[in-house]
Chains A and B, each alone.
Chain A
Amino acid sequence: MRARELQAHDRYQRHQETWGDGPPYFSEGTFDFWQNIAQGRFTLGHCAACDSRYFPPRVICPSCWSADAVDLVDTPGVGTVVSYTELHTVSTALRPIAPVVMVCVDLAEKVRILTWLLGDDDRGSIAVGSPCRIGVEEVLGANRFVARLL
């Protein structure tokens, strides 16, 4: 446990260097995910023990409860819009990009992602059932995982 905690302390400092005080906030289970995002790569959690895919990543597999078996895998990020809303009243942090289109996307891998829809042209054409893709783009000065319609 002490070795793991020393590793966590080191990773926490590296997370702080990349993401400041957050969000995103540090966790052992998501450290690599957010480092990947910073480098422009969107990944899903994959359990090396039971082969299930899940999102967000975490230290315990939600299917088989294996500990520290998360193995991040790439994804095409292709899915479907299951719902969306346009938020006109937002926190101060989001005001520069308001109104924000929040979308909920179900990926082909049967995981659910909540994020923003980017693209002014897409605001008028989005519908429940629209095909879309999750990718990494810079928004508000940092890399984020976001959706665009296909």
Chain B
Amino acid sequence: MIAESAQRFEALEAQAQRLLASFTRAGYEHVAPSIIQPANMFLDVVGESLRARTYVFTDPGGDELCLRPDLTVPTCRLHLARHPQGAVPARYCYNGSAFRYQQGGDTSAHPREFRQAGVESFAAADREQADAEVLAIIVEAVRDAGIASFQLRFGDLGLFRALLGALSLPERWRRRLQHQFWRPDAFRAELNRLTSAAALRAPALKAEVIDRLDPDQPAGAQSEVEAYLERAGLTLLGTRTLPEITERLLAAAADARESPLPAATANAIESYVAVKAPARAAVRELNRLLRGHRIDLSEPLQAFQRRLDDLDTAGVITDEAEFSAEFGRNLEYYTGFVFEIVVPELGPKSPLAGGGRYDSLLAEVGAPVAVAAVGSCIHTERLLAALQGTAA
């Protein structure tokens, strides 16, 4: 990226101060977590795909460090340093640099060094209300900055989880589909496998072991597997344990005996994933769709509706917000409501702001219990570019 001019720096700073002022007015405490973060813990959490874009280095003392690729994880760490028990309500805001390698080169829409201004809300009792509050604050800040026209995009990974929960299928299939959700190809492949009796019974690995395992008698399975390894002259190598190997073989044994997923159920899942409509119309469409499949999702859909109502009350106009059941698939650590703010100047590939609910991240960073969390940040360079009409 071209060296930042003093003028541009001043403009970004002035803009950041306005954003922060609007966050602190809303009751969010201004924090400044460290730019340099321990690489190991950070990278365990964000996954290898973001790691590939993270600037990692070893300092002269031999410690593995990184330049933070976002401010959410550092803010989680800051919260846990203050409140090791984790589940203490807190609301933070920040404005600071984040760093990511950009495969397409360092451009003004995707700079490798950029500033995020955002908010995080932890341990709020009412999740939908907290979701709405965070989005409303970001929308207000964007409007205050001078953006008059923008498009909201919504998704809800919690709804998908609720759908799986309402369907009758083995818990391990639920976990697998949930896990594969954000990888469309793998998801489709898994759904195809589950609906095919032949695929489920396909001679799995080591059929001679699997055939001896009784999924209803898991207690005896481990010694069965151990005996097989011994007969085959195989010793355990590395850190992965016998119970882990047994668990997967038992799952394969159970799959082989399971009736395949009814086509209607797979169909319901696929129809859900395909839903894309203005948010309120989407709720109606989902209600109709699920009624047709005799699936009861009234509670989570009411929660979704309540969030929309809260947003409207807060002055966020949701009429034209677009809900897409697929949206959020590519964002690994989100667990619930997700959103993006898109402006025509920058296009859908460079959202001005984004965020969502991530209820499992704090526990992964070290909290002893799961802590409800929702946050969002504004890409400040893009905001400035949209305002100045200098979008790349």
Please indicate whether A and B come from the same complex rather than being unrelated chains: no
